[in-house]
Amino acid sequence: MEPMNINAGSNKSHYQILVLGGGTAGITVAAQLRRQLKRYDLAIIEPSTKHYYQPLWTLIGAGVFPKEQSERAESAFIPKGADWIKEYVAEIRPEENVVLTREGSRISYDYLVVALGIQIDWKKIPGLREGLGTQQICSNYAYDQVDYTWKCLREFQGGTAIFTMPNTAVKCGGAPQKIMYLADDHFRKTGVRQKSQVVFASAQGALFAVEKYRKTLEKVAERKEIDIRLKHNLIEIHPESKQAVFEHMDTQERVQMPFAMIHVTPPMGPPDLIRHSPLANEAGWSAADKFTLQHPRYPNVFSLGDCSGLPTSKTGAAIRKQAPVVVANLQSVMQGKEPVAKYDGYTSCPLVTGYGKLVLAEFDYEGKPSETFPFDQSKERLSMYLLKAYALPRLYWHGMLRGRA
């Protein structure tokens, strides 16, 4: 049943505050804005009728929860008093303070918040789109695929299991290896690990950017006898013959590997819509001052979350710290003042290293640990696993998306 707080279908064509995207970032900001700035009218443009808690997909892919647990009706999270425009943004014209939608609406704004997420480029790997969901080719990076990952793990009978990481920015940089550690754990429980090889083929030059956590992950990979192939970028998949082709990032040498199963983290990038708009920075992301999150050329525009050009790891945890900065600075700009609230690049990656084990990485722009708990978070802990599996989802649905946390 749809709750009563939707104002969808309103024919207004101007809003004081317009939020693009109703995912983690868009809803979090909108909820905080509605709590603090009730007198301003606000709309969210979001075509999806569902909202997903994507961090749970790692555990869903490993069979811990059913996928339905990560899905809710979007309508339940549109803040009271906000309008929901159920349309798809097609063009942003910041010179005119106007947004055009695919459905033909033209909506103008005084202030704009850009929160359109990251684009997943499945088609950049020939064979991937065709093969995904068949032939033991799986990915946790889409709701409709995540249960196939669990099927692949469950039905694995030995051979080579490959886990990939692309040469692009991705959301949650740790997720490509979390599912591998869980798979390894599962293969040991079912007794197939001794007749299999687990390969982490990553286009990156190291397991993790921050030394403190990297050291732990290197030990975990060693303990689990994982074959780590760094600087290996997946460029093709041949589903029928079950072959994956990688390109070495330095030598451009092509390396072919047969697989019994492969978990693919697809290439990602800025949404085309942003890349082709005046908001884009050189790399195509929505440009934003790394501290104030304000656009460098359009002071009435703020960006946050995965679509923004902030030089930090793209996570929901980062958004939890970015949202209050956007809200505070938006208020300053509305009052004709300079934006003074600052985001320090905080991000967090709950690195699941097995069932019941987790390293909670938390760090800032400098890669300096910025930890919440008074113990060494680089150690694998059951308590941190329980936090990820049970406490953080509650905090998300009941706190963050309600503008409270």
Ligand X SMILES: Cc1cc2nc3c(=O)[nH]c(=O)nc-3n(C[C@H](O)[C@H](O)[C@H](O)COP(=O)(O)OP(=O)(O)OC[C@H]3O[C@@H](n4cnc5c(N)ncnc54)[C@H](O)[C@@H]3O)c2cc1C
Neighbouring CB atoms inside 10 A of 357's CB total 18
Residue 54 lies near ligand X (rule: CB under 6 A): yes
Minimum CB separation of residue 157 from ligand X in Å reads: 25
Residue 399 lies near ligand X (rule: CB under 6 A): no
Residue 354 lies near ligand X (rule: CB under 6 A): no
- Contact between residue 178 and residue 304 where contact means Cβ atoms under 8 Å apart: no
Minimum CB separation of residue 89 from ligand X in Å reads: 4
Residue 128 lies near ligand X (rule: CB under 6 A): no
Q: What is the DSSP letter of 190?
A: H
Report how far residue 16's alpha carbon sits from residue 299's, in angstroms, rounded to the nearest whole number: 14
Q: Is the alpha carbon torsion for 239, 152, 56, 67 positive or negative?
A: positive
Report how far residue 348's alpha carbon sits from residue 365's, in angstroms, rounded to the nearest whole number: 11
Active-site hit among 138, 152, 172, 307: 172
Closest CA to 52 of 142, 130, 136, 134: 142
Q: Which of 67, 193, 314, 381 binds ligand X (CB under 6 A)?
A: 314
Residue 21 lies near ligand X (rule: CB under 6 A): yes
Minimum CB separation of residue 140 from ligand X in Å reads: 4
Name the segment binding ligand X (CB under 6 A); options: 51-59, 76-84, 206-214, 293-301.
51-59
Task: Give catalytic status of residue 172 as yes or no.
Answer: yes
Residue 23 lies near ligand X (rule: CB under 6 A): yes
- Contact between residue 222 and residue 215 where contact means Cβ atoms under 8 Å apart: no
Q: Which of 55, 94, 173, 339 binds ligand X (CB under 6 A)?
A: 55
Q: Which of 132, 162, 244, 317 binds ligand X (CB under 6 A)?
A: 317
- Which x/- pattern, by CB under 6 A, does the window 94-123 give for ligand X? ---------------------xxx------
Minimum CB separation of residue 117 from ligand X in Å reads: 3
- Listing DSSP states for 255-324 in one string gives EEEE-SEEE----EE--HHHHTSTTB-TTSSB---TTT-B-SS-TTEEE-GGGB--SS-B-HHHHHHHHH
Contacts of 146 (CB under 8 A, 6+ apart): 57, 60, 61, 67, 70, 139, 140
Minimum CB separation of residue 169 from ligand X in Å reads: 11
Residue 321 lies near ligand X (rule: CB under 6 A): no
Q: Indicate the residue among 120 and 235 with the shorter CB distance to ligand X.
A: 120
Q: Indicate the residue among 37 and 387 with the shorter CB distance to ligand X.
A: 387
Residue 273 lies near ligand X (rule: CB under 6 A): yes
Residue 47 lies near ligand X (rule: CB under 6 A): yes
76, 135, 288 from 279: Cα distances, Å: 30, 41, 9
- Which x/- pattern, by CB under 6 A, does the window 138-167 give for ligand X? --xx--------------------------
Residue 88 lies near ligand X (rule: CB under 6 A): yes
Minimum CB separation of residue 301 from ligand X in Å reads: 16
- Tell me how far the alpha carbon of residue 144 is from its chain's centroid: 16
Q: Indicate the residue among 249 and 344 with the shorter CB distance to ligand X.
A: 344
Q: What angle do CA 155, 160, 163 make, to 5 degrees?
A: 90
User: Which amino acid makes up residue 252?
Assistant: Q
Task: Give catalytic status of residue 307 as yes or no.
Answer: no
Closest CA to 106 of 8, 7, 15, 22: 15
Q: How many residues bind ligand X (CB under 6 A)?
A: 37
Active-site hit among 138, 152, 307, 349: 349
Minimum CB separation of residue 253 from ligand X in Å reads: 30
Q: Indicate the residue among 43 and 203 with the shorter CB distance to ligand X.
A: 43
Q: Indicate the residue among 224 and 388 with the shorter CB distance to ligand X.
A: 388
Residue 22 lies near ligand X (rule: CB under 6 A): yes
Closest CA to 382 of 361, 402, 347, 353: 353
Q: Indicate the residue among 314 and 381 with the shorter CB distance to ligand X.
A: 314
- Contact between residue 44 and residue 85 where contact means Cβ atoms under 8 Å apart: yes
For the chain, give the longest Cα–Cα distance: 66
Minimum CB separation of residue 125 from ligand X in Å reads: 17
- Contact between residue 8 and residue 22 where contact means Cβ atoms under 8 Å apart: no
Q: What residues are annotated to the active site?
A: 172, 349
Q: Which residues bind ligand X (CB under 6 A)?
A: 20-26, 45-48, 54-55, 57-58, 88-89, 115-117, 140-141, 171-172, 175, 271, 273, 305-307, 314-317, 319, 348, 350
